[in-house]
Amino acid sequence: MQQQIQYPENYRQFNTQYPRSEVVSGMLWDTIAFTNATLQLTFFTVAKATVDLSNMIIGGQLPYPMAFLVRSIRLFLKQRPESANVVAPAGTQVGAVNNIALLYNTGSFQITVGAKQYGIYPLWILSSGGGPYGFMNVINILIAGGMADYGGMGTPHSRNAFTLAQPLFIEPQMSFKVDLYWPAALALTRTPLPLCVAFEGDLIRAVQ
């Protein structure tokens, strides 16, 4: 039986092998403002100034030795409750819930890792998996702005997210991005509205 050799601890600073790593549960997210002129949005290519917008350290890739195994995808529209005029019967009710319907009914989602594309997925299959849910409440139909509503895609539950049948592994320093597409301009109320794409899965990082 081969005897294990104990090396001095301070020799680790001169290690020529790959650093030790650990695997932890993690998320990657990025946020871009949607406007009614938007036909395509590209995420994860630019590092943002604050963590509420993105946690990307650099744009377009993960710095060595970080890597990420994408297990599920979330999509969240960061809108707030708003007042709207109640429309006549059989008319389209504008407002926050309608914003969600417009975005998700015609949009599509695609991931690119290196030069390979994964998808396209229709947006209606994706959910935020958390956050407030939607409601409509008539306050007074006789005054302007007589209805308040809010909309979030999917019941607010941590497990209510689109799970990939085959996870995607993003290696260190490998370029990746997400593209959202719409075939025509939409008519959302109160734009620009922040739209957030999030990956949930395993974060691989160096042991400190």
Residues 77 and 130: their CA atoms lie apart, in Å, by 11
pLDDT of residue 3: 65
| Residue whose structure tokens are 């504008």 | 94
CB 191 within 8 A of CB 12: no
Give burial (CB, 10 Å; 0-12/13-18/19+) of 8. exposed
Q: What is the pLDDT along the chain (208 residues), one digit of tens a residue?
A: 556 677 777 776 666 665 677 889 999 999 999 999 999 999 999 999 999 999 999 999 999 989 999 999 999 988 887 777 777 777 777 788 888 888 999 999 999 999 999 989 999 988 887 765 666 666 665 566 566 676 777 766 667 788 899 999 999 999 999 999 999 999 988 889 999 999 999 999 887 6
Q: Specify the pLDDT at position 194.
A: 94
Give the residue from 69, 46, 12, 52 showing the smallest Cα distance to 205.
Answer: 69
Cis peptide before 111 (omega within 30 of 0): no
Could you identify the residue written with the tokens 């995808």? 73
Q: How far apart are CA 144 and CA 124, in angstroms?
A: 31
The DSSP symbol for 27 reads: E
Domain ranges of the chain: 21-206
pLDDT value at position 26? 94
Spatial CA neighbour of 112 closest among 66, 67, 54, 178: 178
CA distance 194 to 52: 11
DSSP type of residue 106: H
When the candidates are 2.30.30, 2.60.120, 3.40.50, 2.60.40, the CATH number that belongs to 21-206 is 2.60.120
pLDDT in the model for residue 162: 87
Would you say 158 and 129 are in contact if contact means Cβ atoms under 8 Å apart? yes
Specify which residues 112 forms β-bridges with. Answer: 117, 177
